[in-house]
A and B are shown apart, each in its own frame.
Chain A
Amino acid sequence: MRVGKIITAVCTVILAGMVLMGCGGEEKKPAATENAKDTSPIKVGGLTDLSGPTSSVGVPYSAGLKDAVKYINENGGIDGRMIEFDLQDTAYNVQQGLSLYKKMVNTDKVVCIQGYGSAVTEALIRNLSKDKVPNFSASYSAHLTDPKKAPYNFFIAADYTTQLRAALKYFRDNWKEARAPKLAFIYPDHPYGIGPIKGGKAYAEELGYEIVGDANVSLKAIDATTELLPLKEAAPDFCWIGGTTPSTSVILKSAKNIGMDTVFFTNIWGSDENLFKLAGDDANGAYSNQAAAVYGQNVPGMKVIEKLTNGEHQMTHYVRGFVSVLVMAEGMKRAAANGPMTGEAIKNSLETMRDFDPMGLAPLISYFPDDHRPNMAVFIYTVKNGELTFVKEEILERRADWLGH
């Protein structure tokens, strides 16, 4: 059959392509001499989700990464060396991420990775420390902040548990009534949702909250009435939502439908500029934890972003991607000042960083050799008339017993 021959031909071409891939790709050696200043590009790999289940936030995050690289290069690069950024799509698939990582580190010789997504980031932990390549990811799981377990993992936002703790502190400080505030937790039965719950509950009890219930709402839920009805009976004053923007909107709408009177607050992936589009007026009054400024906010770095994007509005994920590259570049600048640019040198330089200000776009960032928590600060926003409105920067103490939890 003709089609059969076509399939045979396609398979042959694919195999031939793979063989050629193996044969080609000779490394070009930088033409630097000992006396001349090294002007070869610094290679950085990007492993984000552009087509998979989390691509709706992966795409704006990646745009932030790319624009920040452009900004760094336009302003002289790293000690005269340009950043060569190779952004690839993992589709949130571990196998794909692992394969791309091996290519980037072993063939392309990248010295740093800009990563994204828990599944891929966590699957790379061991490889990163073996290859001595730092990975800045947008996966803010607390256990990635412990250098004993993940020495080459970095990120620029407070981890999920710290964010939850900071919001709890904020609400407790502003609680006026004599009785203990009642608190409930809504999260998906998913590693990302469950991660911060244990630490959050322990701190809530420490602060004097009364925990009145839990509910599991899937990230793919289209209605949450059944899950919320028992919580309505418990009448919590505050409800934590540990989901994504779509699941948060479902929860907010269902809560409105059943007349639930509570203050909702969400973590970093639980609200963005799309929340109001999805939930409409039901989103008003909800609080959101964020680790970066929203577009148009009056901070120095926003002028740069507005210029780069020609005033076209970008999501808050974009800003975090931008900050991630700014912090990486600062680490590289410090490494360049001390000697050859290697992954290990970048890691060691990052660990000397104290209160680095990413142009006001995020809270001040510090890393320590035994503590990779970038900060203990969270920006708290509230949805007011369809916009994320800045409320307060809540800063917690850097408690040793919270590291990695």
Chain B
Amino acid sequence: MQGKCGLFFTSYRGEAQIFQSGFQKLMVGLFILVLLAAPAVLNVHLTSIMNLIFIAVIGAVSLNLLTGVCGQISLGHGAFIGVGAYAAGQCTLHGVPFPLAILVAGLITAMVGMVFGVPSLRLKGIYLAIATLAAQLVLEYVFLHGGVLTGGSNGLLLDPPTILGFSFDTDARMYYLLFFFAAASLLMVSNIMRTKYGRAFVSIRDFYLSAEIVGVNLFRYKLAAFGLSSFLAGVAGGLWGHYTGYISAEQFNIGLSISYLAMIIIGGLGTVLGSVFGAVFIVLLPEVLNVLANSVGGYFPDIAQSIVALREGVFGLVLILFLIFEPEGLAHRWRLIKAYWKLYPFAH
């Protein structure tokens, strides 16, 4: 374990801590305080962007657990998020309290994820990707033809979340709720990665045969990865549905699955921090491109439309550049930045 200068461990428990030094704990504490104070400073638009980031963080970290940590590629994550949205929506529409609805949504999505995870015992790599793509298509069909369960082509209208009579009906209120769920999800995945399950997932990802030889039950652990990942995807879906107030089949299409894959690739596969970076990057990218298009459009009114049309291309270009130049994602870049300052000014 690469520790900081002057940091010594006298126990395995000490070495396995998430935040090892007092300075790290202080920084994280300050960061949390800043985040808690943010809605007071940010306007509603920026708060809403933060809310979208929190939801994306939960979705990304859940996919990272499955794909980055356990090596099981999934192209059906968007649909799993949809399952959570519909499940939580139906629960609250039938009077189930919101926290319980989110829990039920997670559990239902976990079950659905495990069903579609069954082929993972026999299928690997691109074959598994296609199998999960099938899950995406099947679930999209169910969303569209689910009758009263999904509202069919009309979708479902949902009310803002209410906990013990307190309604989270503004962006600032939703901010705290989503912040709580995002932090809890990050903590959950960080802890899973430190347990027997986490180590088994990594061993399956690195080489399934070795993992099996050392006694890892491949089927059980792969299913567990699908279950745990889908649980969090369900939570993200439930939160998204109640945040927007409306869910329809169109929202949980293959584009959403690809978007989440892009998040974990750009952020960094297999790291919790990478999921956060990826989510922030992908949510902010269209916003930044929009700002750029608008600012350039102010000087050249006729050129704005052409720039707008370039956005999809820019998104693709950014992905390609990341794959070529930063294959380990932003989390790796973050580690390099930290190392640079740690050694500054004696980098060599």
Is A298's beta carbon under 8 Å from chain B?
Answer: no
Closest approach, in angstroms, between the C-beta of A119 and any C-beta of chain B? 4
**Which residues of chain A are near B309, meaning CB under 8 Å?**
50-51, 55
**Which residues of chain A are near B283, meaning CB under 8 Å?**
95
Is A127's beta carbon under 8 Å from chain B?
Answer: yes
Could you say which of A7, A89, A102 contacts B333, with CB atoms under 8 Å apart?
A7
Of A15-23, A337-345, A357-365, the one touching chain B: A15-23
Q: How far is the CA of A91 from the CA of B287 in the complex (A)?
A: 12
Could you say which of A21, A55, A102, A143 contacts B154, with CB atoms under 8 Å apart?
A143
Which residues from 204 to 260 on chain A have a C-beta closer than 8 Å to any C-beta of chain B?
A: none
- What 0/1 pattern do residues 122 to 166 of A give for CB contact below 8 A with B? 111111001000000000010100000100000000000000000
**Which residues of chain A are near B251, meaning CB under 8 Å?**
94, 119, 123
Q: Taking A25-B43, A98-B52, A191-B250 as contacts, is the C-beta distance between A123 and B244 under 8 angstroms? A: yes
Q: How many A-B residue pairs have CB under 8 A?
A: 131
Q: Taking A22-B42, A98-B52 as contacts, is the C-beta distance between A7 and B288 under 8 angstroms? A: no
**Which residues of chain B are near A122, meaning CB under 8 Å?**
155, 246, 248
**Which residues of chain B are near A310, meaning CB under 8 Å?**
none
Is B254's beta carbon under 8 Å from chain A?
Answer: no
Is B286's beta carbon under 8 Å from chain A?
Answer: yes
Q: How far is the CA of A51 from the CA of B321 in the complex (A)?
A: 22
Is B35's beta carbon under 8 Å from chain A?
Answer: no
**Which residues of chain B are near A50, meaning CB under 8 Å?**
305, 308-309
Which residues from 1 to 15 on chain A have a C-beta closer than 8 Å to any C-beta of chain B?
A: 1, 3-4, 7-8, 11, 14
Q: How far is the CA of A42 from the CA of B250 in the complex (A)?
A: 33
What secondary structure prevails in chain A residues at the interface with B? helix
Of the four ranges (under 10, 10 to 19, 20 to 34, 35 or more), the interface on chain B belongs to 35 or more
**Which residues of chain A are near B144, meaning CB under 8 Å?**
189-191, 194
Is B284's beta carbon under 8 Å from chain A?
Answer: yes
**Which residues of chain A are near B195, meaning CB under 8 Å?**
none
Of the four ranges (under 10, 10 to 19, 20 to 34, 35 or more), the interface on chain A belongs to 35 or more
Is A107's beta carbon under 8 Å from chain B?
Answer: yes
A102 lies within 8 A of B287 (CB)? no
Could you say which of B291, B321, B330 contacts A21, with CB atoms under 8 Å apart?
B291
Q: How far is the CA of A149 from the CA of B156 in the complex (A)?
A: 11
Is B46's beta carbon under 8 Å from chain A?
Answer: yes
A99 lies within 8 A of B248 (CB)? no
Is B152's beta carbon under 8 Å from chain A?
Answer: yes
A106 lies within 8 A of B248 (CB)? no
| Chain B minimum-CB-distance residue to A14 | B288
A119 lies within 8 A of B325 (CB)? no
- What 0/1 pattern do residues 76 to 113 of A give for CB contact below 8 A with B? 00000000000011010111101110110111000000
Which residues from 129 to 179 on chain B have a C-beta closer than 8 Å to any C-beta of chain A?
A: 141, 144, 152-155, 157-159, 169, 171
Name 19 A/B residue pairs within 8 A (Cβ), A-sorted: A7-B322, A8-B333, A22-B41, A99-B45, A99-B49, A102-B45, A106-B43, A118-B250, A119-B251, A123-B244, A123-B251, A125-B157, A126-B245, A189-B141, A189-B144, A190-B153, A191-B153, A192-B153, A195-B153
Task: Kindly list 11 other residue pairs between chains A and B, CB separation below 8 angstroms, not including A51-B312, A125-B245, A126-B245.
Answer: A22-B42, A59-B305, A94-B250, A96-B286, A99-B52, A102-B48, A106-B45, A123-B251, A191-B153, A191-B248, A194-B152
User: Which residues of A approach B to under 8 Å, CB–CB?
Assistant: 1, 3-4, 7-8, 11, 14, 17-18, 21-22, 25, 50-52, 55, 59, 88-89, 91, 93-96, 98-100, 102-103, 105-107, 118-119, 122-127, 130, 141, 143, 149, 189-192, 194-195
